[in-house]
Amino acid sequence: MRTRVVSELEAVRRRSLAYTDVDEDELVRQHSPLMSPLVWDLAHIGNYEDLWLVRALGQAAATRPGLDGVYDAFRHDRASRARLSLLGPEGSRAYLREVRARAFELLDHLDPALAHGDDGTRARLLTGGFVYGMVIQHEHQHDETMLATHQLRIGAALLAAGLPAPPGRPVARREVLVPAGPFTFGTSDDPWAYDNERPAHRVDLPAFWIDTLPVSNRAQLAFLEAGGYDDERLWSSAGWDWRQREGLTAPAFWWRDGDTWLRRRLGHVEPVPLDEPVQHVCWYEAEAHARWAGRRLPTEAEWEKAAAHDPATGRSHRYPWGDTAPTPDRANLGHRTSGPAPLGAYPAGASPCGAEQMIGDVWEWTASGFTPHPGFRSHPYREYSEVFFPKDGESSAFRVLRGGSWATGAPACRATFRNWDYPIRRQIFAGFRLARDAD
């Protein structure tokens, strides 16, 4: 456990530093009102590590008092963060180093603290290394957010290009039938699972069909060329309002040049690759596309059953292929590549029902709002999940996304992992997969 924690903490830090190894002006500037300045994310990562590893677990004083207000995501919205008195780039890096040194020092003295077991709260934080997993995942989540800031940024590429993705392949079956029956939704025993993934509970679903692959750029282009963006009947009323207000006519970062569709991807301009999963579409666009195709988005439970349920054992696995950690031949995660891999690139990552690319490549919008699993208990803080659940009698303002993207760090990805965002968001690395009722 200790070796794993140290290597994951170091790996994610290399990632954060790579995304912020850019000119000072790029770090402090507000690239989009949707995003924080990169330098805010950077020091926020350190502040979170200080809160949880140094203070909550280590019972030590703040590494640098007075920073909590500035780096509290609930105190200041993203668009206002550039106006706060933030640590500068060098100051942020130094803060991260100081916090990390104290966190490592604590880790060296951890076993005696555990053995005393005097403090139930700390013992619970430490069960299965949970609080370390939480801090590692939090940093990966902000790294993905920083990558979305890089994607929104206008200008020549700042980040090194990733490795080439494995080639795609034609997949024989377009959709598969998932038979009716119960499956285990969520988890109670995954040590690093967030509170919102818990507890495991049985859910009985009617049979449904789900696509073996996510929707491609080719299919999104077909929707577009069939007039899908201009056909009000395909859109929900909220979706159509948003489409009108924003003038949506194609996925974000796409434009037409003569007969070719081009896209901007992390500072590079290139033709839209037809056989990749579509990304940078909002939930409303996904919903309209599904209606055009005579299909629908899967519910969150359907998505997880298709990804994780093994009818041979009746169990849900941590990943579609089983319980072993992701490898580059099974899933496109962790920004190894600079985007999603072509359809069919991961036959070894198929789930028992035959669905592919459910983990990695693109987050997949589901039909579901973000609500608590039955028996949910907030842990260790309400602001991670609970404050985003709808109040009694209201419906969720968010939609759940599943499966992680090419930009998601592996420690922050598994079949039970739940992400959520507003149905209008397009800067995230999100696409979708289609489903339908079995009649």
Sign of the alpha-carbon torsion through 7, 133, 410, 35: negative
Nearer to ligand AVJ, 240 or 384 (CB): 384
Query: How many residues sit close enough to ligand AVJ to count as binding (CB under 6 A)?
Result: 6
Q: How far is the CB of 2 from ligand AVJ (least distance, A)?
A: 25
- Residue 329 and residue 356 in contact, taking contact as beta carbons nearer than 8 Å: no
Q: How far is the CB of 398 from ligand AVJ (least distance, A)?
A: 8
| Residue 418 is labelled as binding a ligand | no
- Residue 143 and residue 318 in contact, taking contact as beta carbons nearer than 8 Å: no
Residue 138 interacts with ligand AVJ (CB under 6 A)?
A: yes
Residue 284 interacts with ligand AVJ (CB under 6 A)?
A: no
DSSP string, 20-65: T-S-HHHHHS-S-TTS--HHHHHHHHHHHHIIIIIIIIT-PPPSST
Among positions 20, 63, 145, 187, the unique one binding ligand AVJ when judged by CB under 6 A: 145
Distance CA 413, CA 364 (A): 13
Nearer to ligand AVJ, 138 or 291 (CB): 138
Q: How far is the CB of 145 from ligand AVJ (least distance, A)?
A: 6
**384: phi then psi, degrees, rounded to nearest 5:** -70, -55
Distance CA 46, CA 90 (A): 13
| Residue 81 is labelled as binding a ligand | yes
Q: For residue 167, give the nearest of 270, 273, 261, 307 by alpha carbon.
A: 273
Nearer to ligand AVJ, 184 or 419 (CB): 419
Q: How far is the CB of 421 from ligand AVJ (least distance, A)?
A: 6
Q: Which residues contact 392 (CB under 8 A, 6 or more apart)?
A: none
Nearer to ligand AVJ, 78 or 295 (CB): 78
SS3 188: coil
Binding characters for ligand AVJ, 394-423, by CB under 6 A (x = yes) = -------------------------xx---
User: Across the strands, what pairs with 184?
Assistant: 202
Nearer to ligand AVJ, 71 or 346 (CB): 71
Question: With CB under 6 A as the contact rule, which of the stretches 30-38, 127-135, 138-146, 182-190 interacts with ligand AVJ?
Answer: 138-146
Residue 357 interacts with ligand AVJ (CB under 6 A)?
A: no
Q: For residue 357, give the nearest of 311, 400, 321 by alpha carbon.
A: 321
Residue 427 interacts with ligand AVJ (CB under 6 A)?
A: no
**Which residue minimizes CB distance to ligand AVJ?**
141
Residue 149 interacts with ligand AVJ (CB under 6 A)?
A: no
Centre a 10 Å sphere on the Cβ of residue 285 and count the other Cβ atoms it contains: 31
Q: Where are the beta strands (DSSP E) in 134-289?
A: 175-178, 181-185, 201-205, 208-211, 254-257, 260-265, 268-271
Annotated binding site for gamma-L-glutamyl-L-cysteine: 78-81, 421, 425
Annotated binding site: 44, 78-81, 138, 142, 421, 425
Residues that bind ligand AVJ (CB under 6 A): 138, 141, 145, 384, 419-420
